[in-house]
Structure 1
Amino acid sequence: MPFFDGSQKKIGQGAQAVVYLYKGCAYKVYREDYPKEWIQGELMTQREIVKTGLPVVHYAKTEAPNILKMDYIDGITLGDQMLAGSAPNSLQDMVQLQKKIHTHTNVHLRSLRESALQDLAVLEAAPVRKARVQAILDTIPEQTNLLHLDFHFFNIMRANKRYYIIDWINARIGNPVFDFARSYLLLYEAMPDLAWKYRTLILSDPAIDTAHWTPAVYVSALLRLKENSNEATVELIQSTECELFG
């Protein structure tokens, strides 16, 4: 029996799932071949995030194993607001939200270090580069702050005069410098001019510990090759290598 009655409306699509609006709620429909344990993992991660009290959506199971039910946010992403020229303080708002995420500690999630080492083990990269990443991970102090790790303008929604943070599938606990570095990397790939402005905001904020900024950017960029290799990522790897290792 079909899950929907034909009145659903497609409101979003990613590589792994399509999102529909149906009877006042959003439904994330994953590909039939998408591993069910990964869907369950995303559900459990979101439930942990909800416990923090951050402005996020709630997830729930449905009778269909490849469909999750979510709160529907009738709003617009910060990215779309920027494109429309209606978000003059977008970078500042983004950084403040990101800092708010990091105030939460000891959330029941995997550590960044654990997942980074797992990714490093299967990464196709020169041994010297992998050794450098291992050394950096051993050097940067391990912490238990909540990290989003996919934090950018299109994962921030504005509705009812407040922001909501979406898409927590990559969330981990660890040192906040890695979350800032990852956001910088994502901006560097898509919006280089904004990336440099974001970098300036981070490095000039006395409340943010940036002692390990460049090593964290290097680790983030190299591990990014596992999921996406493009000219900007390679360029960032090379520039940080020169800065760190000469």
Structure 2
Amino acid sequence: MKQIASGKRGRVYDLGDGQIAKYYVPDAPDTALEREVLAARLAHDHGVPTPKVLSVDRDIAQGRVVFEYVSGVAVSWYVLKRPWRLFWASREMARCLANLHTIPDTQTPNLKTEMCKEIDSLSCLTSDTKKEILDQINQFSGPERLCHFDYHSSNVMVSDGACVVIDWGAARSGPPLADLTQTCVINRVDSFPDGTGALMRLVIRALRWLHIELLIAFYSHYSQDHSYASVRRGIRAWQRPIAAARLADDIAYERTALLRLVNSRTSSL
């Protein structure tokens, strides 16, 4: 059994015979397995291109989910090797996300409730700042739709010329523009591969900026509920709460950039 990927919530192994297994790490949240299974099945049943859940084993430590194996490469690496395909990749990612946001969801944890818990737990923000952001979140309204909430170019694969969405461990139900803003924030604060030189950092930074600009434009085109102007307004409104909640993940290389977004009174995305 060969390990092929690892992340904050689990490790992924190739089982052969067209199957992979995700084993959850000991410090993964107790609800991680159930959340991922619910979201992946809901997305798959509504036609989102994502690996099918084949089986769930809750009897072993931390649990295991077996998915169908999908061969391919992450969009992040695909575009880095083929920058001329950025337009296509951004368009297809936007199409997938807009389609995902048409799915009503009352099964996964509530996005606003989860964010409020995460922000309330922070020690790096003052009580006044937290109260201000929590009050802002409680003023948001909108349809409860399935949100991936970790949708970025490393969690979307290119397989047989199409995009496939993976890793539903952070999925939540909530306003779609919060999910899109999370994608923008992740893109803004992401790190660079080890050993990346100064020139390549400039190239990657430019590709990331263009990717998000294209993603927003195409999302506005494919969305049934939002114009380009309303998408931009939504991102401006959600930027601060999203950045604050992400601080709870305690990712060292993101901290400075996230605090800058939290303390900014104008959109930096």
Fold conserved between structures, TM > 0.5: yes
- Contact persistence 1:76–1:159 (CA under 8 A): yes
- Contact persistence 2:36–2:171 (CA under 8 A): no
**In 2, distance between residues paired with 1:198 and 1:84?**
15
**In 2, distance between residues paired with 1:135 and 1:36?**
28
**In 2, distance between residues paired with 1:32 and 1:111?**
24
Task: Decide which of 56, 68, 71 is 1:71's aligned counterpart.
Answer: 68
- Contact persistence 2:10–2:23 (CA under 8 A): yes
After the TM superposition, list the runs of 4 or more consecutive aligned residues in structure 1 that deviate by more than 6 angstroms.
Answer: none
Offset of residue 142 of structure 1: 3.0
Partner of 2:210: 197
Label 1:195 to 1:81 Cα distance change in 2 as closer, same or farther (>3 A). closer
- Contact persistence 1:148–1:171 (CA under 8 A): yes
SS state at 1:12 partner: strand
Label 1:121 to 1:29 Cα distance change in 2 as closer, same or farther (>3 A). same
**In 2, distance between residues paired with 1:107 and 1:95?**
23
How many residues were matched structurally? 235
Partner of 2:194: none
Label 1:203 to 1:77 Cα distance change in 2 as closer, same or farther (>3 A). closer
Shifted more, 171-180 versus 63-72: the winner is 63-72
Partner of 1:4: none
- Contact persistence 1:184–1:198 (CA under 8 A): no
Q: Which structure 1 residue ranges, 5 or more long, are not aligned?
A: 1-7
- Contact persistence 1:78–1:158 (CA under 8 A): yes
Give the TM-score taking structure 1 as reference length.
Answer: 0.84
Shifted more, 69-78 versus 94-103: the winner is 94-103
Label 1:12 to 1:139 Cα distance change in 2 as closer, same or farther (>3 A). same
Q: Which amino acid aligns with 2:91?
A: Q
Partner of 2:12: 19
Partner of 2:117: 118
Offset of residue 195 of structure 1: 4.8
- Per chain length, whose mean CA-contact separation is higher, i.e. which structure has more relative contact order (CA < 8 Å, sep 6+)? 2
- Contact persistence 1:149–1:171 (CA under 8 A): yes
Residues 1:85 and 2:90 are matched in the alignment: no
Residues 1:232 and 2:254 are matched in the alignment: no
Q: Which amino acid aligns with 2:261?
A: L
CA RMSD after TM alignment: 2.5
Give the TM-score taking structure 2 as reference length.
Answer: 0.77
Partner of 2:163: 163
Matches for 1:177-216 after TM superposition, within 5 Å: 177-190=177-190, 192-201=205-214, 202=216, 205=220, 207-208=227-228, 209-210=230-231, 211-216=233-238
**In 1, distance between residues paired with 2:110 and 2:29?**
22
Matches for 1:5-16 after TM superposition, within 5 Å: 8-16=1-9
